[in-house]
Chains A and B, each alone.
Chain A
Amino acid sequence: MEFFREEIVDVIVLTVNLKRATLVEAEEFKQILINDIQRGFKKIVVDLSSCEFIDSTFLGSLVVSLKKLTGLGGDLRLVGFQPAVHSMFELTRMYRVFESFKSSDEAVESFK
């Protein structure tokens, strides 16, 4: 399973089980997030601990979802930056718009 989805009360935790998350998987990933948003979920945690690299298309999927969620008063929070992923978020300044946490428990807790 490339993506593992879990519902914890009203929070969705989506774990990305990919070493390289790229344009190949970006569309499917986006659809999962958009589906949840359309179903009314407003609190989403995306766990990137397994990702050694994400490309700009995959980042785009996260950004689209965050933009939709913030428009609805929700939020998308991230977990587990490996160094290359961290530098990707830093390069694009996206670390400023995504709140990030050390563990998914912490991220879920932050929504309460």
Chain B
Amino acid sequence: MSESEKRSVLIIDDDKTIRKLINHHLKLNNFNTFEAENPYQAFDILKKEKIDLVLSDVTMEGMDGFEFCQKVRENENHRFLPFIFVTAKNTLEDKSRAVESGGDDIITKPFDIKELILKTQALIRRSDIYRTYGMRKSLEKSFDDVTPKILFVDDDSSMSRLFKYNLEKAGYECTIASSVDEAMFLIKSEIPDVIVSDIMMPKTDGFEFRKMILEIPSLKDIPFIFLTAKGSEEDILEGYDLGITDYVVKTAGPKLVVAKVSAIIKSLGNERKKIISELQEATSSLKTKVVPDTFPVFDGFSISHMHIPFKGIPGGDFLDYFQLDDDNLVVILGDVMGKKWGAWYFAYAYAGYIRSALRIVLQNAKEYSPSEILQQVNLTVYGDTKISEVFATLSIIILNNKTKELRYSGAGDIPIIYKNSAGDILRINSKGLLLGFSKIGEYEDIILHLKEGEQVYLTTDGIIDSRAKSMESFGEHRLYEIIKKIQPDQNPLEIIQKKSDEFTQSEYDDDVSLILIDVKS
């Protein structure tokens, strides 16, 4: 495991021996470690370093661990930072304070070092899943900027009405269910943003309800708040064992519920803003765009493209043109696997990689070869641990306007489409593997000698995998038929877009990209 892959754990304890002991074992288990004697040093480290998990003592001078945890949670960036207390205190009151202050788990001294390592690993993994899966799902939803929906589950109808009134007054949409059965039924037709549920209910109680929700992957990450009648510690602890987001004592009244719901919704919104700004930073630092605004001007060819980002959000497709010299132009079309948030980010990274790979190849190459460029990009991607789990398809074409020669090499891409002067549609297949999969991508150059009036199309899977309402796929064959019928006086991109819009009723599951190379006289 390389340094950059290692996870960082912050250990806070005023006892040096304990710090060293934990430190030693974490390092043996491939963690990076930071030590702090007291909360103040810990705040400094949290500010400077990227910490993945905190292990904190409770009894410390100046500020105790509970207070420290609360302060850490006040920082928006650390709201979800995994936090474990390591303490000799073991009463129910301590456990409940640990939970109240925002801790995720408690390990009691004297502790079993194996248990500590296991809990650390488990908690980091859980937060990873939450970050990459749960959070992203919530983000996608919040992108649509609709009124947040709350599902309120309580068998007491007067209570429900009171809360519904207050939640709606605060600007939320609130749906009431009087039983768990009804709640499960409602969830099927509309997934809420937050669930608030009573615990004591006839037939199925709140705990059972929570367990049912946890079993359904698409629902398990929805923030969940328990309403408890008496706020007994056992109830609260059992609730947190089930991974709830928060709990409210009924007698505290609807205002507190509204406040907690608002805080949760706001934190989802902030997380989204943070990611957008990170993406924008990444873009400006790479100084590259995923799709150019204009078509390249290149003698002897007319090159144009269409690109429809999925639901208007930039996705995994990227295309680029790069003039090598007076006679040679590179045309690039790629698709990063995965969609939306993740793919968008990596599409930028890939576009940057390809540019730098182009520079390297250009400096060394005697002859322009797309497969050499691919191999260079593949090597860089393969060796970069940050993106080693992200794969991309890529088509690279180099056009020469003196010889009218087209050199093509592909990595896991959709075969390019060649409409020759006889009007035949030829499917040009490359053999190369997806970028980043193996060190040797087996890329090869395919050379076409183009003639006036001929056309070459490049596309990603967006059009081909798109579906009609009947679930039928558009497929390669349909695209070929359309291209075959296109007349010289028609605009191919317009026609293809019109036909695929008709087929899918303009609803796509992915980015749609198409590049057209037209050979002029």
The answer to whether B217 and A57 have CB atoms under 8 Å apart is no
A84 within 8 A of B: yes
The answer to whether B389 and A92 have CB atoms under 8 Å apart is no
Report A11-41 CB contacts with B as 1/0, cut-off 8 Å.
Answer: 0000000000011111110010000000000
B143 within 8 A of A: no
Interface size class on chain A is: 20 to 34
B433 to chain A: closest residue by CB? A93
| Residue numbers in A under 8 Å from B217 (CB-CB) | 2, 25, 28
Q: Is the interface of B mostly helix, strand, loop or mixed?
A: loop
B289 within 8 A of A: no
Check A67/B509 contact, CB under 8 A, given A55-B465, A56-B461, A93-B432: no
| Residue numbers in B under 8 Å from A27 (CB-CB) | 129, 132-133
The answer to whether A56 and B437 have CB atoms under 8 Å apart is no
In the complex the two chains form, what is the Cα distance from A31 to B339 in whole Å?
A: 17
In the complex the two chains form, what is the Cα distance from A2 to B216 in whole Å?
A: 10
The answer to whether B473 and A84 have CB atoms under 8 Å apart is yes
In the complex the two chains form, what is the Cα distance from A53 to B465 in whole Å?
A: 9
B412 within 8 A of A: yes
A97 within 8 A of B: yes
Q: Is the interface of A mostly helix, strand, loop or mixed?
A: helix
B89 within 8 A of A: no
Q: Could you tell me which residues of chain B, from 87 to 140, have a CB within 8 Å of some CB in chain A?
A: 129, 132-133
A68 to chain B: closest residue by CB? B389
The answer to whether B433 and A59 have CB atoms under 8 Å apart is no
Report B445-466 CB contacts with A as 1/0, cut-off 8 Å.
Answer: 0000000000000000100010
B337 within 8 A of A: yes
- How many of B's residues come within 8 Å of A, CB to CB? 29
B393 within 8 A of A: yes
B338 within 8 A of A: yes
| Residue numbers in A under 8 Å from B389 (CB-CB) | 64, 67
The answer to whether B461 and A91 have CB atoms under 8 Å apart is yes
A96 within 8 A of B: yes
In the complex the two chains form, what is the Cα distance from A57 to B438 in whole Å?
A: 18
| Residue numbers in A under 8 Å from B414 (CB-CB) | 91
| Residue numbers in A under 8 Å from B393 (CB-CB) | 56, 92
The answer to whether A63 and B133 have CB atoms under 8 Å apart is no
Report B326-365 CB contacts with A as 1/0, cut-off 8 Å.
Answer: 0000000001011100000000000000000000000000
B434 within 8 A of A: yes
The answer to whether A93 and B434 have CB atoms under 8 Å apart is yes
B318 within 8 A of A: no
The answer to whether A93 and B412 have CB atoms under 8 Å apart is yes
In the complex the two chains form, what is the Cα distance from A31 to B389 in whole Å?
A: 13
A94 within 8 A of B: yes
Residues in chain A within 8 A of chain B (CB atoms): 2, 22-28, 31, 53, 55-57, 59-60, 63-64, 67, 84, 91-94, 96-97
Residues in chain B within 8 A of chain A (CB atoms): 129, 132-133, 217-218, 335, 337-339, 388-391, 393, 412-415, 431-434, 437-438, 461, 465, 473, 509-510
29 contacts between A and B (CB under 8 A): A2-B217, A22-B509, A23-B339, A25-B217, A27-B132, A27-B133, A28-B133, A53-B465, A55-B509, A55-B510, A56-B337, A56-B510, A57-B337, A57-B339, A60-B390, A60-B391, A63-B337, A63-B434, A64-B389, A64-B391, A91-B415, A91-B461, A92-B412, A93-B433, A93-B434, A94-B412, A94-B433, A94-B434, A97-B438
Extra contacts besides A2-B217, A84-B473 (14): CB < 8 Å: A25-B217, A26-B338, A28-B133, A53-B473, A60-B390, A63-B391, A63-B437, A64-B391, A91-B414, A91-B415, A92-B412, A93-B433, A96-B431, A96-B433
